[in-house]
Structure 1
């Protein structure tokens, strides 16, 4: 096979120095600390591993072989490269660069706390401020059209309807929904137990539409799917009888949206955004929505208030006799 395709010796990618064993060992120690002592979510750990592996490679290219040799200029230069891009890597968006800086600063603080170094080389480097992007939300009528377009004539249809109804009814992330076990939801009581980032548990109410969809799936859909596998505690199953993956769940949403002409306006978080926006528009307070979404800080939730203010402006502009 062609080296340019496989990334072998003939590829155009520049050769990099291999990070020293000391740097690699300190990285493993930090990731273990995050996983075991801090309970950081798996996806976050994978992102931090990628960001820090690239950082350690940059340090090795700069001739740094031990953690005591890292200087503030190394951190600043790496951040500049992240934002400007290279022939090998395109420029990172402000949000991605900010995440990388958070990972790098966390590693350096860990080294100081462990007594491996006495000075935090990243102390004066701050993440770039990401642009404030308003989350996209569908209106209530469009949500209803999306959910009601899912056929429930077979096991897969019943599963897909249960998945999408749950996502909108609870504001769950797709990863939280596919992570549910049968015992995590009680349709009769109208509650579900979700496990968010860092395995933090929260109890969220489930409305009657979602509860009915889940109950129909449990009675008429899941038994047909589970027989294809070896038995699984997962609530949402694929056609092989094992747990539905995040990618498959996203594909379900995409396919349903595409059928009604919404594919370009729907992302994995669309139903979560719609859930939060509709609650606020209906009179829910920000802190309640924060709890339901599982946000660690109310600041994260407050971005949804910008959406509702925009809606109020539109209503005012079209309804008040002296608005224009």
Structure 2
């Protein structure tokens, strides 16, 4: 991602090139835009936004290393996190589930993730059993009555004897 891919003015956003050379524009929180503005101040539009220790563009392997490193550090204070495998994809998946739980429609999440097919994104809806339980709990069934009991029917043998 280059500095030129950032739009940090009025409606902050970033233009991303994904797998298969797909391009999408994603909005940014104003706090993120503020941080990025400070990070890229006085830099050329063709320069990479994120640089590694040697001032070279950060690669996907560098990002993976940073995520796992900080997840391990967080695991020291959050013991349940220490046993989990955290990767950039984990963050992507977790974000999608949080969006779904917040009530964002599945088609918007599909566009956010850059999925071509809604079927790919539908996996997130299938995965979240907690959301299904919450939806079930919101349904008021207190006014429902059990169906009336069927009157006893004569037994099959009694019927056959009458033939």
TM over 0.5: yes
Confirm or deny that 1:236 pairs with 2:50: yes
Residue 200 (structure 1) aligned to one of 9, 16, 22? 22
The aligned residue for residue 281 of structure 1 is 101
Residue 8 (structure 2) aligned to one of 181, 187, 204? 187
Tell me how far apart the structure 2 counterparts of residues 258 and 218 of structure 1 sit (CA, whole Å).
28
Contact 2:12 2:30 in 1 (8 A): yes
Structure 1 gaps of 5+ residues are 1-179, 227-231
Tell me how far apart the structure 2 counterparts of residues 207 and 265 of structure 1 sit (CA, whole Å).
27
Q: Once the two structures are superposed, what CA deviation does each residue of 1:194-219 show, in whole Å capped at 9, x if it has no partner?
A: 11111111111112232233223224
Tell me how far apart the structure 1 counterparts of residues 69 and 88 of structure 2 sit (CA, whole Å).
12
Tell me how far apart the structure 1 counterparts of residues 136 and 38 of structure 2 sit (CA, whole Å).
44
Tell me how far apart the structure 2 counterparts of residues 250 and 297 of structure 1 sit (CA, whole Å).
26
Listed as ranges, the matches of 1:93-242 within 5 Å are 180-188=1-9, 189-219=11-41, 233-242=47-56
The aligned residue for residue 126 of structure 1 is none
Distance 1:315 1:283, change over 3 A: closer
Q: Once the two structures are superposed, what CA deviation does each residue of 1:1-26 show, in whole Å capped at 9, x if it has no partner?
A: xxxxxxxxxxxxxxxxxxxxxxxxxx
Which is helix-richer, 1 or 2?
1
Distance 1:295 1:317, change over 3 A: closer
Distance 1:316 1:286, change over 3 A: closer
Tell me how far apart the structure 2 counterparts of residues 292 and 217 of structure 1 sit (CA, whole Å).
24
Give aligned pairs, total: 133
Contact 2:52 2:58 in 1 (8 A): yes
Question: Is 310-319 or 234-243 further displaced after alignment?
Answer: 310-319
What displacement does 1:316 show?
6.6
Structure 2 gaps of 5+ residues are 76-80, 142-163
The aligned residue for residue 312 of structure 1 is 131
What's the RMSD between the two structures over aligned residues? 2.8
Superposition TM-score, scaled by structure 1 size:
0.37
Give the secondary structure class of the aligned counterpart of 1:202. strand
